A and B are shown apart, each in its own frame.
Chain A
């Protein structure tokens, strides 16, 4: 009887964790709901439209790119994550047609033209953001006060800009930055909700604790050593979002733990240099992009020591 049954063979191992690329991307998207919610809460309908437009464009671009490259389109959430991340680092009042251009650039050029997920060198969302900063400098630096769903937008400065007027009392300033009711990009203002999303990913084992710790730690230490208000530097701007969601991107950061620490320390140093000495108020985006560029180099030279290989000096 049993002989008639068709018996299949397959290579081992015959067990798989089931944590697929799609699932990982899905969980990242889920964690990003927290900072997104903060963005919509503080900046209202237009922020929501920016997020929706960016995601829709990203997914559509991926679909078209896959068709053009004659590859199967897999709805694996990675385009959703890219679209969402891009929206979160845009100013709340970005015109939607610009969002479409930026998102299409992120997916079409930065990701698919390099060969798709796994082959891209630069973080697509950050590269898209940098591209938009180059194309639309005025719109990309127009910030508004967090007024929720109120009708009119009032422009303002972000905490990292000169001319930012915050509370005199330090504690109230920190509280403001921590909760997020300050001017800034859609998803960057509330350190609290970024932390919630980030800790969720840490708890699920999706991201490695080394990245945010090394990145934020470096910025804190360096600003402290330079006599700056280091708590302010941790909470202000895109550092939290960058440390938890951008510097942790698998594809564009090193593969070894040592390499990851080098990457994040480097990004931290660059961020501080740009913030304090550069011509731009914020440096997270460019410092991560720069480290993306040298990631292949890091991966080439930073290796793991195999089991049983004698350390130098041992006989």
Chain B
């Protein structure tokens, strides 16, 4: 059954969130391939789940695409060499998202860029679901929208959960970032082919492709491709109003389907799985070409001379990328991994790109000037999870962490909409993080 409608939800949903200035400096820049790095640093733990054990040791010669770390655990993915060369040393990194120390391998390139042989397949209809999932895991794919959750796990819902809807997420609602946008425009075929594989694995009733209305060209392009590729199944294009955080899984599901994921639950509890467009492309590459996930598109933007969308080998140090874009502007003194809302400041220019990195934003640091809350209620209206951020801050300041828990602090996914809109400039997310880590510590003690 082929049924390709285009519905527009510009008006619907989202009585929360904030309207942000887009600042998509690189919206018109085509993807450029970054030069081969001289050295890459491959962290052995880049995603949610178990860390990898190294499969190589110092002095070993490796090929690009060769697996160099893996784990026995189900919730884990392997890591691969992203250039050919020699393992020159090991080091430790502070993981930007978790703050934990992780082991990393330093790989010095031999400049030859020799690859392992890929195990290509063009008869994917013959592949079993297990084989598809195996290929996805072997390629080391994780969710590329930021969460970095192993993709094969997300594609293996428990037997008792029926998945009726798959949403392909092309919202990219954070300012500055254009990597997903560019992937849709330049690798649209691969994205849809990846989506088709997802559909094959989960066999949902409906597949939605959700894009914000600030990316007209991508919407148009995907629509044309849908028509020309002759994919079977129900695919629907959905245009969403651009508002932050539209692209967060839970808010996306609410906007499109009107369903709410229960507190503490996952999208699959309401029969939905959401995948990011870049992830879909990586799935295509893995399943059809047998190509491991070793490079991705990253937006280098903000206060650099030439903002760019770069196709980058994972493990490339930030220094190389920023230099490639003409260096930091004079005033700039802060580097953010990710977008301006959920990204994390990074002080070390030798820090490498990891799988979840979609953006490197260079900017001038702006000091926070915190004042007392004036109870304006803006943070409440901004919060996509309908929490009461100012009340949470009040509890945190009073050390009442249990009250925070009762006020559903765990539901906060740190989108930053509340702090963005707060006239008193209260670093609300910072307070929330303090309470969360304190609660984790307490739970561990029990």
Contacts and interface: CB of A to CB of B under 8 A. Distances in A.
Interface centre among A115, A119, A250 (most CB of B within 10 A): A250
Interface stretch (A20-28, A53-61, A178-186, A194-202): A20-28
B263 interface: yes
B335 A19 contact: no
B191 interface: no
Interface stretch (B52-60, B121-129, B364-372): B364-372
Contact of A306 (B349, B408, B414, B423): B408
B347 A8 contact: yes
Interface in A1-17: 1-3, 5-17
Interface in B181-220: none
Nearest to B364: A8
A255 B377 contact: yes
A307 B254 contact: yes
B382 to A, nearest CB: 10
Contacts of A2: 319, 322-323, 327-328, 349
Contact of A8 (B328, B333, B348): B333
Contacts of A116: 372
A299 to B, nearest CB: 8
Interface string B318-340: 01001100011000011110001
A9 B421 CA distance: 21
B376 interface: yes
A255 B20 contact: no
Contacts of A17: 18, 420-421, 423
Interface string A233-267: 00000000000000000110101110010000000
B377 A256 contact: yes
B363 interface: yes
Contacts of A208: 377
B20 A307 contact: no
A12 B421 CA distance: 13
Interface string B402-434: 000000100100101101110111010110010
B98 to A, nearest CB: 15
B388 interface: yes
Contact of A3 (B349, B361, B365): B349
B429 A11 contact: yes
B444 interface: no
A16 B322 CA distance: 24
Given A13-B341, A250-B376, A255 B390 contact: yes
Nearest to A19: B423
A309 B250 CA distance: 13
Interface string A196-214: 0000000000001000000
A226 interface: no
B262 interface: yes
B153 interface: no
A206 to B, nearest CB: 9
B319 A308 contact: no
Contacts of B408: 306, 309
B390 A8 contact: no
Contacts of A309: 262-263, 408
A143 B323 CA distance: 73
Contact of B260 (A8, A14, A23, A308): A308
A30 interface: no
Given A20-B423, A306-B385, A306-B408, A14 B373 contact: no
B155 interface: no
Contacts, number: 161
Contacts of A13: 340-342, 416-417, 419-420, 429
Interface string A284-315: 00000000000000000001111111100000
A113 interface: no
A95 interface: no
A118 B375 contact: yes
Contacts of A75: none
A170 B114 CA distance: 92
Interface in A70-89: 74
B127 to A, nearest CB: 36
B23 to A, nearest CB: 9
B383 to A, nearest CB: 8
Interface centre among B18, B250, B366, B429 (most CB of A within 10 A): B366
Nearest to A14: B340
B420 A16 contact: yes
A5 B328 contact: yes
Contacts of B443: none
Contacts of B349: 2-3, 7
A10 B327 CA distance: 21
Contact of B429 (A8, A12, A115, A253): A12
A231 interface: no
B341 A24 contact: no
Interface in B356-399: 361, 363, 365-368, 371-377, 380-381, 384-388, 390-391
B175 interface: yes
A220 B328 CA distance: 61
Interface in B14-47: 18, 20
Contact of A21 (B18, B20, B368, B423): B423
Contacts of A21: 371, 374, 423-424
A6 B331 CA distance: 11
13 contacts: A8-B334, A8-B365, A9-B347, A12-B419, A13-B340, A13-B341, A14-B340, A15-B340, A19-B423, A250-B377, A256-B380, A306-B385, A308-B265
Given A8-B347, A251-B374, 19 more contacts: A7-B333, A7-B334, A7-B335, A10-B365, A10-B366, A12-B342, A13-B429, A14-B361, A16-B366, A16-B425, A21-B424, A115-B372, A255-B380, A306-B263, A306-B408, A307-B386, A308-B250, A309-B262, A309-B263
Interface of B: 18, 20, 175, 250, 254, 260-263, 265, 319, 322-323, 327-328, 333-336, 340-349, 361, 363, 365-368, 371-377, 380-381, 384-388, 390-391, 408, 411, 414, 416-417, 419-421, 423-425, 427, 429-430, 433
Interface of A: 1-3, 5-17, 19-21, 23-24, 74, 115-119, 208, 250-251, 253, 255-257, 260, 303-310
